[in-house]
Amino acid sequence: MSQISYKDAGVDIDAGNTFVENIKPFVKSTRIPGVLGGIGSFAGAFELPSGFKEPVMLAATDGVGTKLKLAIDSGIHNTVGIDLVAMCVNDLLCNFATPSFFLDYYATGKLDVKVATNVIAGIAEGCIRSECALIGGETAEMPGMYFENDYDLAGFAVGIAEKSEMDRVSLVRAGHKLIALPSSGLHSNGFSLARKVLFEKMNLDFNEDFNGKTLIETLLEPTNIYVKTFKSLKNEIVAMAHITGGGIIENLPRVLPENLKAEVKKDAIKVLPIFELLSKHVDTDEMYRAFNMGVGMILVVKDKNVDTVLAKAEGSYLIGEILEGDRKAVMI
């Protein structure tokens, strides 16, 4: 009777080992003070930093959504890892947590070592931009669960905050100003709608010229990471809202108390060209619910600190203010 190996069943242990060896230099490049040991153990280790009176550990998890479909179909795999890190660490910032370390989960039907290595290289780059360490992860080869060339990503970021600094909502007051930090594009939200509009409705091609780049390069532009901006402006920021799924309308109220509203001047928003293209076939209200429209993060700032923030945060600009009213974001 012939014997069946794990490889015959679709799982290549040798390929997995080769992959681990390939990614060791990328993991090493993210090492920062606090990392204990290296990859290969059963868990990653990170020493709690000193200098906190009441340190609190915060965790955030996210994925990249159907942006992955474009990466897979185009064969461009070195940027979605940056997106993965960005979506997690940008959330941590909104609770005033400084990212410390990151872990990833990579699942696929058949492990392609080259593709997976490119993805992890992107994750490492995202960690470098976030000034946090990649301390571990998991690679799962699951034939029968995914089509052979498909893969999925999930990320997990942990940061440290001072307990007394976490509650930002209670600090927001009427008269505070709203400052936009620009996005780099769609970031990692709204791609199911964008794909339907661009490739089904408009029948566009990946290699279509769009503002000096190909359309696929524009769509796969990685999510901006705002960690360095946060660190440099922490003392001037009252609160932060990461503009992800749901857009400004749904995310900005998350930093408001019940008796205050955010008034955003629609004409002040520097809408990126990709959103102008999509708006040809999507209602305006739907655009503002599905996409960030060019705003990746909104800062709530005291009036006296506005000039400082605008001077230090590259590309930032005023888009509105906090007023008395029911808790909501209003586009005017």
CATH number at residue 188: 3.90.650.10
Q: Residue 143's domain is classified under what CATH number?
A: 3.30.1330.10
How confident is the model over 133-165, as pLDDT tens digits? 999 999 999 998 888 789 999 999 999 999 999
Question: Model-level pTM?
Answer: 0.95
How confident is the model over 67-97, as pLDDT tens digits? 999 999 999 999 999 999 999 999 999 999 9
Element (H, E) at 128: helix 113-130
**Predicted local confidence at residue 182, as pLDDT:** 98
**Predicted local confidence at residue 5, as pLDDT:** 63
The answer to the question of residue 93 being in a domain is yes
- Report the DSSP beta bridge partners of residue 151: 108
User: 180 with 266, same domain?
Assistant: yes
**Predicted local confidence at residue 41, as pLDDT:** 80
The answer to the question of residue 8 being in a domain is no
User: 66 with 145, same domain?
Assistant: yes
User: 80 with 195, same domain?
Assistant: no
Please say if the pLDDT value at position 222 is more than 70.
yes
**Predicted local confidence at residue 9, as pLDDT:** 56
Structural domain boundaries enclosing 302? 169-331
User: 257 with 130, same domain?
Assistant: no
**Predicted local confidence at residue 42, as pLDDT:** 86
**Predicted local confidence at residue 240, as pLDDT:** 98
Which two three-digit tokens encode residue 78?
Answer: 């070195």
User: 141 with 184, same domain?
Assistant: no
The answer to the question of residue 7 being in a domain is no
Full DSSP string of 17-69: HHHHHHHHHHHHHT--TTEES-TTSSS-EEPPPSS-SSEEEEEEEE--TTHHH
User: 29 with 147, same domain?
Assistant: yes
Q: Among 165, 191, 224, which residue terminates a domain?
A: 165
User: 219 with 161, same domain?
Assistant: no
25-29, 251-255, 326-330 — which is least confidently predicted? 25-29
**Predicted local confidence at residue 4, as pLDDT:** 64
DSSP letter for 327, please.
S
Domain count, the chain: 2
User: 158 with 229, same domain?
Assistant: no
**Predicted local confidence at residue 10, as pLDDT:** 64
Distance CA 224, CA 209 (A): 23
Distance CA 55, CA 160 (A): 6
